[in-house]
Structure 1
Amino acid sequence: MAHQPLAGKRVIEMGTMVAAPFATHILAQLGAEIIKVEPPGGDTTRALVRGGPSGTLIAYSYGKKDIAINLASEEGIEVFYKLIATADVFIHNLAPASARKLKVAADDIAAINPSIIYCHIRGYAAGPQEDDLATNPVAEAATGVMADHRIDGRPTRLGPSYHDQFAGTYAVIRIMSALMGPPTAPEDRDIEIGLYETGLHLASRDLAGMQLKTQLLGRPEKEAGGEFAMPGYGAYQSADGRWVYLLVITDAHWKKLTRALDMPEQDDPELDRLRERKKQRERVEAAVRTAVSGLDYADVTSRLKQFGVGFTEVMPLERVLEAPQARHPGKLRDLSFRGLQFEVPEFPGPVSDRDFLPPPELGEHTVELLQELGYSSEDCEALLQSSAVKLANPEEFGWAKVRKPG
């Protein structure tokens, strides 16, 4: 059984897309109760795939309760503030201007619950750009990642929203630190995590390396990434069209590779050292490509295993969960959502035996939470009639039918 250090803690999430929902997903795995607050129109991820919920909602919002509140109404903001008064943590990733407009900025929340931990994941933390908007790819572009990732010469986002997810993880670390030793000063309960600052921290190795080269060589020069710095370290295609990623980093790795694939270069002393292989990069790369492309994937991997060469197959998404390592007990959680079945990867570490709720529909727990806050049935009906809150509607956010060919 996994330890649940946050059992009994209530976290209010006002999140959209990835960063805040990912943070509260982790907090839920650690035992916290998560209440997702959405506007009547729902989180953006509810309508991203053919008019219906995306994988983001399914993967990162199971285990949460959901209440739909119209914060633009007086009755709605009153409900929200009553909810805030019961919470230990409030986390959101609204734009700063939106947070102020909706009256959920740090000062607004502290006035209702002075002891709450307030966490705002935003584009930029304090500084000249603190009110500017930023998304995951903006953080990639601004911190050097995108310049290195090009498709047909054009700087391009990585694809997965890693900066969002890292920002969410950093938020969890800060929240956990605050919960471990309750802060005494109000400012210590006010946590800001910027996507830009997250990107800077992630790039710190590369930024320091570039500065090092500049001072040693007298000119700006960044350190090459691992696979570009070390010939033979990267992806190569086998004869049957499958890609294998080779972990050839050291001189010992090179010797094992050349012997495993019976390459002519195994007897060439000129290539024994990494420095020499770098000087003959094109020759080394061509040699490895030739060796791998001359064998089927099964033959390549059998030889690599025999000689202890590190490798993995470059897996397409549709095959990732077929791997025996992924199928090992404790790696995946079965979820049912709208009659569809999903396997979602578990949070790394001991697996929680907590019985998580399926991903919630918009407003699924609105009445339940209102009643918990002390509202009578008549009060609930009045709030619904005034559109201050909203109930789940099964007809909303349905996936468009896919028309089968023929």
Structure 2
Amino acid sequence: MLKTLSSLRVLEFSHAVLGPACGLILADLGAEVIRIEPPEGDPTRTLKGFGMGYYPFFNRNKKSIVVNLKDPRGLNVIYKLLETTDVLIENYAPGTMERLKLGYDALASHYPKLVYCSLKGFLPGPYSSRLALDEVVQMMSGLAYMTGPVGQPLRAGASVIDVTTGMMGALAILAALRERDVTGKGQLVKSALFETAAFLMGHHMAYAALSKEPVPPMPARVSAWAIYRTFKTADDELVFIGVTSDKQWVRFCEIFERRDWLADERLATNNGRIEQREWFIPQVEKMIGEYTKADILQRCEAAELPVSPIARPEDLFDDPQLNQGNSLIETILPNGDVTKLPRLPFRLHERDEDLNARLPEMGQHTAEIMRELGLD
């Protein structure tokens, strides 16, 4: 495990994806992240359907203690633990931490160096008391509108807002810790689903401001590049090809031996090719349909053109780049099976061979922490 944040202790009051994603980043960077679970355990542990992957992915490298926050004795454990805590992360419903006497205002004077990260659906404003979910804010922000075909809003294929908001929370925490290095004081930092989703819509908002036109959904958009889409191959597979410069266009024509296209002045520039899309793209489709997926990939990769097969999540287990690049971490799942899951997608050290992923059992570290606090 990376040791960059090994001097930090983090308490995580969380559930589902948002809070755990924020804590995951700090844990993978070496912080001691202690999850506070209720006596019945985090419900995320037993989710079915698509939710069954949440716990094993977002909670590695953390500790787990069981504390009844509705019992004064449980609160005393937390108060004692906060004496040696640098960061608190919470993503409970608005008002929950306050009702538990664990809100920032209740803690700040007693723990002045504490960085308190509150992750919610909305930042302060008219919506701040509302409950929100990843899918709700995808609909509210325009992301679902932009993702699906016209009239068919569609959520993205992953919990992108939960995870990105967690990333923003981790970034805010690191900024607050850096400020604490200077001032000696902690502070309250906030990140929220809706504002994160709006941030992802920023370039579409800029487009609307510049064009003075409604923004079309991505499936209906006129791409900035003429060839930038999926094509069906001779073996009935799909590949994505992107030709994003005139130099790439020349190489594209050469690898498919289309001298006629190179000689056509209407197709000499990207803007020209966009203007000729109505007749030109069907010809490209016909040509690509004469080659197998393997042949298309080999030709385009040799010519250094952006190209990709259409993968499924399970294909990533065997991806050469992820495996040879040490981008997957061996993880023991709750059922005892061993698998490989993605690590943080950046590198800080040339050597990190001690990287590992352990999932805590419910309350696994309760006795250890209690002994440390002198409460055993």
Partners of 1:356 and 1:333 in 2: how far apart? 6
The residue number in structure 1 matching 2:120 is 122
Q: Does residue 359 of structure 1 match 2:359?
A: yes
Matched, 1:271 2:235: no
TM normalised by structure 1 equals 0.84
Q: Answer yes or no: is the 8 Å Cα contact 1:333–1:346 preserved in 2.
A: yes
Alignment match, 1:391: none
Aligned to 1:341: 338
Match of 2:255 among 236, 260, 267: 260
Equivalence map 1:142-291=2 (5 Å): 142-150=140-148, 153-182=151-180, 184=183, 189-214=187-212, 220-222=213-215, 228-263=223-258, 264-291=260-287
**Shift, 1:311, TM fit:** 1.0
Residue in 2 aligned with 1:56? Answer: 54
| Displacement after TM superposition at 1:81 (Å) | 1.9
Q: Residues 41 and 227 of structure 1: is their aligned pair in 2 closer, same or farther, counting only changes over 3 Å?
A: farther
The one-character-per-residue Cα deviations of 1:184-219 (angstroms, maximum 9, x if unpaired) are 497x610011111111222212211210112xxxxx
TM-score, structure 2 as length reference: 0.90
Name the % identity.
Answer: 29
Is the Cα–Cα contact under 8 Å of residues 232 and 284 in structure 1 kept in the other structure? no
What is the letter of the counterpart of residue 139 of structure 1?
Answer: V
The answer to whether the aligner puts 1:28 opposite 2:23 as a matched pair is: no
Give the stretch that moved more between structures: 162-171 or 176-185: 176-185
Name the CA distance, whole Å, in 2 between partners of 1:285 and 1:82: 67
Q: Which residue of 2 aligns with 1:75?
A: 73
Instruction: Tell me the C-alpha RMSD between the 2 structures.
Output: 2.4
The corresponding residue for 1:94 is: 92
Task: Report which stretch shifted further, 143-152 or 86-95.
Answer: 143-152
Partner SS for 2:244: coil
Structure 2 equivalent of residue 331 of structure 1: 327
Separation (CA, whole Å) in 2 of partners of 1:204 and 1:355: 36
**Quick check: 31-40 or 249-258, which moved more?**
249-258
The alpha-carbon deviation at position 97 of structure 1 amounts to 2.3
How big is each residue's C-alpha offset from its partner over 1:304-330, in whole Å with a ceiling of 9 and x where there is no partner? 233332212221112122221111142
Q: Is the 8 A contact 1:46 1:53 kept in 2?
A: no
Q: Find the counterpart in structure 1 of residue 311 from structure 2.
A: 315
Partner of 2:107: 109
What is the alpha-carbon distance in structure 2 between the residues aligned to residue 36 and residue 369 of structure 1?
12
Per the alignment, residue 382 of structure 1 pairs with none
**Shift, 1:223, TM fit:** 7.6
Deviation of 1:116 (Å):
0.5
Which one-letter code corresponds to 2:215 in the other structure? K
Query: Given residue 268 of structure 2, which amino acid in structure 1 is its aligned partner?
Result: D
Larger deviation, residues 125-134 vs 258-267: 258-267
Greater RCO, 1 or 2 (C-alpha within 8 Å, sep 6+) = 1
| Counterpart Cα distance in 1 of 2:324 and 2:290 | 33
Q: 1:265: how far off? A: 3.2
Partner of 2:95: helix, strand, or coil? helix
Q: 1:207 to 1:16 in 2, by over 3 A?
A: same
More displaced 10-residue stretch of structure 1: 259-268 or 165-174: 259-268
1:96-116 Cα offsets, whole Å, 9 max, x none, are: 122222222211232442210
Deviation of 1:168 after TM superposition, in Å, equals 1.0
Matched residues in 1 for 2:357 and 2:298: separation? 43
Q: Indicate conservation of the 8 Å contact 1:331/1:345, yes or no.
A: yes
SS of residue matched to 2:88: strand
SS in 1 for 2:189: strand
Aligned length: 368
The one-letter code matched in structure 1 to 2:223 is: F
Structure 1 residues without counterparts, runs of 5 or longer: 215-219, 377-406
Q: Separation in 2 of the partners of 1:9 and 1:374? A: 20
8 and 292 in structure 1: CA distance in 2 versus 1, 3 angstrom threshold: same
TM-aligned CA distance change 1:352 to 1:28, over 3 Å = farther
Quote the offset at 1:122 in angstroms.
0.4
Task: Say if 1:326 and 1:332, in contact at 8 Å, map to a contact too.
Answer: yes
Shift of 1:140: 1.6
1:63-120 deviation line (CA, Å, top 9, x unaligned): 1110121211222222222222220000111111222222222112324422100000
CA contact (8 A) 1:270 1:276 kept: yes
Tell whether the 8 Å contact from 1:88 to 1:115 is kept in structure 2 after alignment.
yes
How far residue 354 of structure 1 moved from its aligned partner, in angstroms, is: 4.3
Structure 2 counterpart SS, 1:334: strand
Looking at structure 2, the residues matched to 313 and 99 of structure 1 have their Cα atoms a distance apart, in angstroms, of 46
Secondary structure in structure 1 of the residue aligned to 2:116: strand
